[in-house]
Every structure is written in structure tokens, then in C-alpha cells.
């Protein structure tokens, strides 16, 4: 498995998973390197190939799979590695796949509203405290890198949608957010029923996807559950033939 984190350059880590003679699953960090710039697919496949053959001394047939996320450069690099290591297969992370599926669930009104919400409400202490006073619980946090984080925020809004008029009115009264608050209020006022239906549809349409993603997150035997969980997901969402 491999992944990188981009900042000024890139920190690339490679994790190896294998079975011992008594079939115990072992996982080890086998390589960690910092790069001046994010590698293209050719450079990435070269780094990973060198780790496997030169640093670890593995035979070409010893590699059985490459675990990765859905970033394009990782997919293209893996395609190159499949040629070099003929016994390996491409193992696309199921959690990334499910998370990306949720990204395709689109409602323009909700997207416009959420852009302002994430800009203001998730980063403003006054707005957070006001929301907490209305809902009697702290607002769910938001992270750009956590599975379904945006949807979890949307779900909280959905379950407390009836409080939005009071919340938005109080923000304006307290002078919190200025133009951003006015934008949210404008989107809400345009068609509150349509906006509510958009949040409700997102909640109903992604709840099973969200739960399945977290059920399959992990680094042990979760991969053995993938087929069963995805089949159940398709059945629950009426996608099965």
C-alpha cells in the first residue's frame, strides 16, 4: 500500500502487508521518503519498484497486490507496476471508492448553501456557540481529509433543519458573517422546501454508504468483508439486478 501527502513537496510512505508461516497478518512500514515535488506516474512506479526489489530484495512474483487510493497518478503508476510484477493485482481502496460515490450525489442548492456554511459556521466560534445553544450539542467537526466529513455536517443540518431560520436570523442580528451569512439566508429564502428536500435526499441516499465506508476502514481482515458488505449495500439501495 502506498500514499503521499502534498505540502511543499511530498512525503511518500509504503506499507507492506504479508502473511507469516502460521497465516498471521503482518503489516510494516517498509519505506518513507520525502521528495522535493510530487512524482509523476513514472517516477512513482520507479520508487515503488526499487523499494520492492532493491531495498527489500523481493522476487518479482512475490508481490501479489498494490493497494492505493483513486488519485489518477497512483492508478497510472500501478498499471506500470502490474507489468513489472506479473503476479500482482490492482487493489483500489474500497473506502475511497465509496466516498467518491457520495461525491456524485449532487444538489445545486445544497452545494451553494454548504459552501457558505463551511466557510463561516465551521470556522467561527460565535456561530458554533449559537448553533450549540439551539441544538444543545456541539457542532460536528469538519475535515477535508476525513471520509464523509462534509456529509456528516450536512446530516446534522438535515436533522436540525427546522432551526435554520432562527439560526440565520440570529447570525444576521449579531453581525456574524456579514456577506457569507447573507448568502446562506438568500439561498434558504429562495426555496426552503427544495433546500430541505435536498438535505433529506442526501441523508437518505448516503447513510448506508457512510456506514459501509467506516465498517470497511481498517488494516486487518476488513478486505474479506468487502464483497458481502457491497452486496448488502446494493441490495439495500435497490441497485441489485
- DSSP characters for 6-26? ESSSEEEEEEEEEE-TT--EE
Higher pLDDT, residue 98 or 193: 193
Residue 26: predicted pLDDT: 85
**pLDDT over 60 (residue 2):** no
Which of 7-21, 152-166, 217-231 is the least confident region? Answer: 217-231
Measured CA to CA, the distance from residue 52 to residue 1 in angstroms comes to 12
At 206 the pLDDT is 85
Encode burial over 69-93: b for 16+ CB neighbours within 10 A, e otherwise: beeebbeebbebbbeebeebeeeeb
Check whether 216 has a pLDDT greater than 70: yes
Is pLDDT at 241 greater than 60 in this prediction? no
Task: Give per-residue pLDDT as tens, 4-13.
Answer: 555 566 788 8
What pLDDT is recorded for position 240?
A: 43
pLDDT per residue over 62-113, tens digit each?
999 998 888 889 999 999 999 999 999 998 888 888 888 766 667 888 999 9
Amino acid at each position: 500500500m502506498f500514499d503521499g501527502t502534498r505540502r511543499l513537496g511530498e512525503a511518500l510512505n509504503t506499507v507492506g502487508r504479508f502473511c507469516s508461516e502460521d497465516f498471521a497478518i503482518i503489516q510494516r512500514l517498509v519505506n518513507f521518503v520525502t521528495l522535493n515535488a510530487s512524482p509523476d506516474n513514472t517516477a512513482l512506479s520507479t520508487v515503488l519498484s526499487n523499494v520492492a526489489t532493491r531495498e527489500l530484495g523481493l522476487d518479482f512474483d512475490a508481490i501479489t497486490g498494490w493497494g492505493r487510493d483513486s488519485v489518477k497518478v497512483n492508478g497510472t503508476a500501478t498499471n506500470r507496476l502490474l507489468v513489472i510484477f506479473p503476479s500482482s493485482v490492482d487493489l483500489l481502496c474500497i473506502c475511497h471508492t465509496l466516498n467518491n460515490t457520495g461525491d456524485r450525489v449532487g444538489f445545486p442548492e445544497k452545494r451553494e448553501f454548504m459552501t457558505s456554511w463551511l466557510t463561516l459556521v465551521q470556522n467561527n466560534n460565535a456561530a458554533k456557540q449559537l448553533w450549540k445553544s439551539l441544538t444543545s450539542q456541539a457542532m460536528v467537526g469538519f475535515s477535508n481529509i476525513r471520509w464523509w466529513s462534509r456529509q456528516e455536517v450536512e446530516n446534522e443540518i438535515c436533522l436540525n433543519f427546522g432551526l435554520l431560520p432562527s439560526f440565520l436570523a440570529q447570525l444576521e442580528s449579531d453581525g456574524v458573517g456579514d456577506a457569507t451569512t447573507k448568502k446562506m439566508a438568500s439561498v434558504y429564502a429562495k426555496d426552503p422546501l427544495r433546500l430541505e428536500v435536498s438535505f433529506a435526499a442526501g441523508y437518505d441516499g448516503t447513510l448506508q454508504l457512510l456506514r459501509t465506508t467506516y465498517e470497511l476502514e481498517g488494516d486487518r481482515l476488513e478486505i474479506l468483508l468487502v464483497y458481502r458488505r457491497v452486496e448488502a449495500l446494493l441490495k439495500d439501495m435497490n441497485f441489485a439486478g
